[in-house]
Chains A and B, each alone.
Chain A
Amino acid sequence: MFGYIIPEKPELKIREYEAYRAYYCGVCRAIKTNHGNLPRLTLNYDTTFLALLLSALFEEEPNMEDCRCAIHPLKRRKMITNSEILSYAADMNVLLSWLNLADKWEDDKSQIAYAGMLALKPAYLRVTAKYPEKSRNIHEQLKLLSQLEANRCDSIDQAAEPFAKLMEEVILYPLIDSSDKDHERNKKALPWFGYHIGKWIYTIDALDDLESDIRSKAYNPFLYQYWKREASGRDTKDIKDLPKDILEAAEFNLFATLSEIAKSFELLQFKRHKDIIGNIIYQGMQRKTETILRKGKQP
């Protein structure tokens, strides 16, 4: 589910790449500060994107410091420190990771997932206590998603909706109201942006899992929407036998979503790093989409 939102590294300038990494390391550090060392293992690129985005939109002067990293002890690294926004991103990282593990435990009864849940439980409780309303909204959306999946929802749009709404909730950083005109504009554009980010993540994850879902006979909205029941049999049919329709439809949906992400991105007012985020949206996510589509098209 996570790790699809990445930059197109070769197209980043070196200073942009270092800035991106400063956020990645900064969130890692923030997780440690808020929740201790173990939850740092759940750090992912999506949270880095969240931190970078919110900081670029709302943070006046992010604090960059040279720090030591336990994993890379030889050289000090620049990282963002003492940031409310990174602290928020760290908390969201923990929340979403715990929920992801809970989902794996529900679906597959995975022992590793259960162990992860136990390890993350204290951190998870801390976050839900800190953001009670947000956590409640996120839980509700996940409950809706479980219901849709249990009822074998046969519309990718409908199935993606709860996760899209969830990301909309996550991306709405609880900003203290200010008279900054840019903040007002950004607050209008962010929900549409967040919704489509969530929709893209869910859709691309469903597409990526298509092959394995066929084998394991797990629920996949694409299969239920585009695969005729009478042909289903559902016994290990290879992805190459899938109708062309699924891939065509997935391509349309993903690019329509990317187009809306881009449109709302262009309406956001950034204080800095618009180039890095543009790289992620126009190049990183585009490449990821093409790669996964091509994987499905290969004989």
Chain B
Amino acid sequence: MRDPYEVLEIDRGASKEEIQKAYRKLVKQYHPDQYHDHPLAGLAEEKLAEINEAYDILMKGGGASGTYRDNSSSWNQNTQNTSSGNTNSFYQEVRLHINNGNLSHAEKMLDQSNAQTAQWHFLKGVIYQKKGWYSQAMTHLQIAVNMEPGNPEFRSALNAMGYNSQVYRDRSRQYGRRDMDFCDVCQCLICTDCCCECMGGDCIPCC
């Protein structure tokens, strides 16, 4: 087991609050939803397990309480096929191949059928996304949603594509920004006190 402080990316002697804050940030980052359907989902799961273990150690045997342990809202659940009650076994088989990572076989099946239904476009989109062909994925997912606007599975996949980019943009905006330290807190208090005194009050009597 790696050093728990290193895993949680905090300094030794961090307070319980700092440990909890770091833990929450990392759980959010490696949450199964962030890697839903992702080729590296297994690695993310391992990383999350490591984070949970580190948190448990540092919070002194907190056990399962307070730690995130849910194991994946997986694409597998969708093989029950929520699309308009259609339980077409052809599409079931395509989904199975996608789940097993046989993307080229799944793609060949779709190309041969060329049915171009909403479900067909959706599965095409999923395959392209897993291949890393995002423009193609977006095109097909958009068609699927246009053909069946009420389908929650299709819409959620389309939204997830936009969401990922937003997560990256948010993270890059925050990157390198440090948390407030004691100097920042002190500055804030002094400014608060000055403003307060201007209004006739006195936040910190001795200043």
Residues of A within 8 A of B165 (CB): 252, 255-256, 258-259
Verify if A279 is at the interface (C-beta below 8 Å from B): yes
Question: Which residue of B is nearest A250, CB measured?
Answer: B135
Verify if A278 is at the interface (C-beta below 8 Å from B): yes
Indicate if the CB atoms of A164 and B132 lie closer than 8 Å: yes
Task: Give the complex CA separation of A266 and B41 in angstroms.
Answer: 12
Indicate if the CB atoms of B133 and A266 lie closer than 8 Å: no
| Stretch in B62-70, B84-92, B94-102, B171-179 touching the partner | B171-179
Question: Which residue of A is nearest B177, CB measured?
Answer: A11
**Which of A185, A249, A266, A278 contacts B135, CB < 8 Å?**
A249
Task: Give the complex CA separation of A266 and B128 in angstroms.
Answer: 23
| Stretch in B29-37, B75-83, B181-189, B193-201 touching the partner | B29-37
Interface residues on B, range: 20 to 34
Q: Given A11-B176, A155-B136, list of 4 further CB < 8 A pairs?
A: A255-B165, A262-B168, A267-B43, A286-B169
Residues of B within 8 A of A279 (CB): 175-176
Residues of A within 8 A of B44 (CB): 267
Q: 19 A-B Cβ contacts within 8 A?
A: A155-B135, A156-B135, A157-B133, A157-B134, A158-B136, A161-B133, A192-B40, A192-B132, A225-B135, A252-B134, A252-B165, A253-B135, A256-B134, A263-B38, A263-B40, A264-B40, A266-B30, A267-B47, A279-B175
Q: Please encode chain A, from 246 to 277, with 1 for each CB lying within 8 Å of some chain B CB and 0 for all others.
A: 00010011011111101110110000000000
Indicate if the CB atoms of A282 and B132 lie closer than 8 Å: no
Verify if A195 is at the interface (C-beta below 8 Å from B): yes
A189-B40, A252-B138, A266-B30 known; A283+B172 contact, CB < 8 A: yes
Residues of A within 8 A of B134 (CB): 157, 252-253, 256-257
In order of increasing CB-CB distance, the 5 nearest A-B pairs are A157-B133, A256-B134, A255-B165, A259-B168, A282-B172
Interface residues on A, range: 20 to 34
Q: Is the interface of B mostly helix, strand, loop or mixed?
A: helix
**Which of A156, A195, A255, A257 contacts B169, CB < 8 Å?**
A255
Residues of A within 8 A of B (CB): 11, 155-158, 161, 164, 185, 188-189, 192, 195-196, 199, 225, 249, 252-253, 255-260, 262-264, 266-267, 278-279, 282-283, 286
In B160-174, the 8 Å CB interface with A consists of 161, 164-165, 167-169, 171-172
Task: Give the complex CA separation of A195 and B38 in angstroms.
Answer: 14
Residues of A within 8 A of B30 (CB): 266
Residues of B within 8 A of A (CB): 29-30, 34-35, 38-40, 42-44, 46-47, 128, 131-136, 138, 161, 164-165, 167-169, 171-172, 175-176
Chain A nearest CB, measured from B45 CB (Å): 10
Residues of A within 8 A of B175 (CB): 11, 278-279, 282-283
Chain A nearest CB, measured from B144 CB (Å): 17
Indicate if the CB atoms of A158 and B138 lie closer than 8 Å: no
A11-B176, A256-B161, A279-B175 known; A188+B132 contact, CB < 8 A: no
Chain B nearest CB, measured from A266 CB (Å): 6
Chain A nearest CB, measured from B50 CB (Å): 10
Task: Give the complex CA separation of A262 and B40 in angstroms.
Answer: 12
Task: Give the complex CA separation of A196 and B133 in angstroms.
Answer: 10
Task: Give the complex CA separation of A156 and B138 in angstroms.
Answer: 13
A11-B176, A263-B40 known; A196+B168 contact, CB < 8 A: no
Indicate if the CB atoms of A256 and B40 lie closer than 8 Å: no
**Which of B38, B43, B161 contacts A188, CB < 8 Å?**
B43
Task: Give the complex CA separation of A196 and B165 in angstroms.
Answer: 14
